Amino acid sequence: MPQHFEDFCEDKARKGDGSYAVAFALLKLADAQERTANQIKDLGLAGAASPFGAIEALIMQMKETGETLATAISEQD
């Protein structure tokens, strides 16, 4: 059965091969960066079917609140 490249590097690194230790560390960093990027992309919306990210959704709510307040103030005049 073929061994996954990351597992191969980990085995070699744990046996003391410095070159594979560096390669394994880089692979782990790349995985962490990919997971971080995916979490940032889905921030606050948990993968909702929406083109907006959390910041955009927050700004839209702030805009709507501001417009509601402006309308309420202008109706009092």
pLDDT attached to residue 28: 92
Query: Residues 41-77: pLDDT tens digits?
Result: 766 665 666 666 677 778 889 999 999 988 888 887 6
pLDDT at 2: 61
Residue range 2-9: mean pLDDT, rounded: 84
Q: How many CB atoms lie within 10 A of CB 24?
A: 21
As a residue count, the chain comes to 77
52, two tokens: 């907006």
What is the C-alpha separation between 53 and 42, in angstroms, rounded? 7
- What is d(CA 76, CA 14) in angstroms, rounded to the nearest whole number? 73
